[in-house]
Amino acid sequence: MKGAVDMTHGGGGRASAELIRDLFQKHLGNELLNKGHDAAYISAPAGRLVTTVDAHVISPLFFPGGDIGALSVHGAVNDLAMAGALPLYLTAGFILEEGLPLADLDRIVSSMAAAAREAGAKIVAGDTKVVERGKGDGVFITTTAIGVAPAGVDISPEHARSGMKVLLSGSIGDHGVAVMSSRENLEFESEIVSDSASLHEMAAAILAAVPNVAVLRDPTRGGVATALNEIAAAAGVGFVLDEAAIPVKLGVRGACELLGLDPLYVANEGKMLCICPAEQADAALEAMRSHPCGAEAAIIGEAVREDAGMVRMRTEFGGVRVVDWLAGEQLPRIC
Amino acid sequence: MKGAVDMTHGGGGRASAELIRDLFQKHLGNELLNKGHDAAYISAPAGRLVTTVDAHVISPLFFPGGDIGALSVHGAVNDLAMAGALPLYLTAGFILEEGLPLADLDRIVSSMAAAAREAGAKIVAGDTKVVERGKGDGVFITTTAIGVAPAGVDISPEHARSGMKVLLSGSIGDHGVAVMSSRENLEFESEIVSDSASLHEMAAAILAAVPNVAVLRDPTRGGVATALNEIAAAAGVGFVLDEAAIPVKLGVRGACELLGLDPLYVANEGKMLCICPAEQADAALEAMRSHPCGAEAAIIGEAVREDAGMVRMRTEFGGVRVVDWLAGEQLPRIC
């Protein structure tokens, strides 16, 4: 695909129609999207509907292990999954910057289509706008996912209770470090690759094994530290983590030292936290490990009555430190 | 509200949480959004679900008769309405540019909240990202609407048939001309104001009066000309319009002459086209006129067998001209 996005692609005329047909429909087409109507009639089986929205502004658009297209599906699917829902439909709004190579857009939309297929979700509505050079940055993609949760499922941050265990599905910081090293042109001995992936199957496996799971949460922007602080605040519990139990890849640990980052605050795009009653923790752990993305799953801490709203961590050196909210901005435009 | 958006507002840490609480929740809060979960559990009554997405990049953010906040609700609600659906839920993704005054954002979100309340829709999920100065343009808002259409309703561009009448709910070009004159700092004798408004009630009134209505369409980007060309292509019919019957405000007509625009191609944000069997046209017209936004509604033409896929117009001088697709880009960033 040759050429670049220009302002006529956003005008709603012939150029817009051609871009939609030759690029978006080519990759994303299905019987609902192809109707070319302003809105899509959809149907949902019995169950509770769940919806969510994610705006994606990641820079660069392509990074080791993924791109903004796949990420924009994973991000929305995972937010649904964290409510125990399976994705059915996606909508996508594209904001293109004049000058974006159409070949890049083609690659991004193709990757988006593959991620949606893998997640079993159809993209049923889309919209494209174009802004002048210098008023955007390549492409921004905002996705909304609509899905269904089994009746009775009610997963929510405020359901965490003291005594419950905190599980993590795998190593942290991979996504943030992959993006940062790509942005800064850093090379490490072992290539660090984003973990960007859909987690709805892992979440469904956990729900099947532990129907009374209290909280599922994907630690994206702000990382595990921010996610647990939010849950602590919502539920009025404290958390005590065990640093030695938290998986961090050697390469990620090294890169974080070099970049002055704490992996606990670095974004993940294919990891989840699970909080459940202690007596079900082993079953949840097994369910996580049954999924390819959860091979390194571990119990990393527990919820406690003391210091409600706070997250503390037993360090590898035997001390205890507070894992506070992220004060400033650690990694801009990481998702 | 003082200060401006900075990169920490997008970091997912404390500043993000405060922005959400002090600005977004203040205006948009409801029992679903306030849960602070990554996804919202929603419920829908019996009927067909309908969904749609609209990305909004309008410039300037504030214009006579509206702003990007209200527009982002109207745009999504109207796309649903054109499928015969009433809006229930909205999701909103915000892409903020570093440096945007928080007072402006506050005003925009407040206006969005008012438009959502008027439309009877709840904003149940939101996401906010921040990009560096020069990588965005104030604020972009992508909204997805989810609603319900009565069982049996099936409105779609391809349902237009020759012999059907084309109705228009009021004067054209108001929105585009209001935005352009605000952008170009033009002043006209009479202030031209955007028609930005939600049309779901008018659409429901038409459906109640004429259940077998074939097509509803809001002529936004590209205007009435583009909307009818799209419908002609989808349905394989031709359209013949009657120029004298198409309402254009005097001020809009004058501004268009000055700006070198054809009102037929100028965007509207509170008008609709309706295509229905000739024998029901009067009932549809009456339904349109029963709504404050439809006082000037008129029958502006009909679908014909000849010249399938084309739109022609009987001019006020007695000739016939082709109303082609918009070739280039007439008005950038009009919605």
Q: Same domain, yes or no, for B81 and B169?
A: no
Subunit contact B53:A144, Cβ cutoff 8 A: yes
Q: Same domain, yes or no, for A171 and A316?
A: yes
Q: Same domain, yes or no, for A130 and A166?
A: no
Polymer length in residues for chain B? 335
Please check whether residue B328 lies inside any domain of the structure. Answer: no
Residue B92 sits at the chain A interface (C-beta within 8 Å): yes
What is the band of A328 on the pLDDT scale with cuts at 50, 70, 90?
A: low
pLDDT in tens, B285-304: 999 999 999 999 999 999 99
pLDDT mean over B85-101: 97
Check if the beta carbon of residue B138 is closer than 8 Å to that of residue B99: no
- Nearest-by-Cβ selection for B326 from A13, A145, A217: A13
**Scanning every residue of chain A, which has its alpha carbon at the shortest distance from the alpha carbon of B93?**
A55
- Cβ under 8 Å to A: B residues 223-252: 226, 230, 234
pLDDT in tens, A276-293: 999 999 999 999 999 999
Q: Please list the residues that pair with A128 across neighbouring strands.
A: A94
Subunit contact B91:A52, Cβ cutoff 8 A: yes
The pLDDT, as a whole number, for residue B328 is 65
Residue B327 sits at the chain A interface (C-beta within 8 Å): yes
- Of A112-121, A239-248, B189-198, B273-282, give the lowest mean pLDDT range: B189-198
The listed range with the strongest mean pLDDT (A14-28, A95-109, B175-189) is A95-109
Q: Same domain, yes or no, for B275 and B318?
A: yes
pLDDT mean over A238-242: 98
Please check whether residue B38 lies inside any domain of the structure. Answer: yes
pLDDT in tens, B223-260: 999 999 999 999 999 999 999 999 999 999 999 998 88
Name the 3-class secondary structure at B266.
coil
What is the band of B325 on the pLDDT scale with cuts at 50, 70, 90?
A: confident
pLDDT in tens, A150-188: 888 889 999 999 999 999 999 999 999 999 988 888 777
Residue A268 sits at the chain B interface (C-beta within 8 Å): no
pLDDT mean over A197-202: 97
Q: Same domain, yes or no, for B279 and B309?
A: yes
- Nearest-by-Cβ selection for B142 from A16, A55, A218: A55
Q: Same domain, yes or no, for A173 and A127?
A: no
Please name which of B245, B281, B264, B311 lies closest in space to residue B163, comparing C-alpha atoms.
B281
pLDDT in tens, A6-49: 998 988 778 888 999 999 999 999 988 887 777 898 988 777 89
Domain of B259, CATH number, reads: 3.90.650.10
Q: Same domain, yes or no, for B125 and B102?
A: yes
Identify the domain boundary among A118, A149, A180: A149
Mean pLDDT for chain B?
Answer: 94
Q: Per-residue pLDDT for B20 more than 80?
A: yes
Domain of B97, CATH number, reads: 3.30.1330.10
Q: Same domain, yes or no, for A264 and A295?
A: yes
CA distance B335 to B180: 11
CA distance B230 to A41: 19
Q: Same domain, yes or no, for A101 and A242?
A: no
Please check whether residue A126 lies inside any domain of the structure. Answer: yes
pLDDT mean over A257-275: 95
Mutate to test the interface with B, among A41, A123, A183, A215 (most CBs of B within 10 A): A41
Please check whether residue B49 lies inside any domain of the structure. Answer: yes
Q: Per-residue pLDDT for A220 more than 90?
A: yes
CA distance A129 to B329: 12
The single residue listed with the structure tokens 């949460």 is: A217
Subunit contact B95:A55, Cβ cutoff 8 A: yes
**Scanning every residue of chain A, which has its alpha carbon at the shortest distance from the alpha carbon of B137?**
A135
The pLDDT, as a whole number, for residue B39 is 87
Please check whether residue B330 lies inside any domain of the structure. Answer: no
Domain that holds residue A144: 7-149
Identify the domain boundary among A124, A149, A174: A149
Handedness of CA B27, B31, B34, B39 (dihedral sign): negative
Please check whether residue A330 lies inside any domain of the structure. Answer: no
Q: Following CA atoms B22, B24, B27, B30 in sequence, which dihedral angle do they give, to the nearest 10 degrees?
A: -110
Identify the domain boundary among B149, B173, B202: B149
Q: Same domain, yes or no, for A17 and A135?
A: yes
Instruction: Give how many domains chain B has, as a whole number.
Output: 2
Question: Which percentage of chain B shows pLDDT scores above 90?
Answer: 82
pLDDT mean over B137-144: 98
Q: Distance (Å) from the C-alpha of residue A183 to the closest C-alpha of chain B?
A: 15
Q: Same domain, yes or no, for B135 and B23?
A: yes
pLDDT mean over A218-228: 94
pLDDT in tens, B256-270: 998 889 999 999 999
pLDDT mean over A82-89: 95
What is the band of A329 on the pLDDT scale with cuts at 50, 70, 90?
A: low
Q: Give me the DSSP letters along A175-216.
A: HHHHHHHHHTT---SSPP-------HHHHHHHHHH-TT--EE
Q: Same domain, yes or no, for A53 and A128?
A: yes
Q: Give me the DSSP letters along B227-253.
A: HHHHHHHHHT-EEEEEGGGS---HHHH
Please check whether residue A332 lies inside any domain of the structure. Answer: no
Please check whether residue B203 lies inside any domain of the structure. Answer: yes
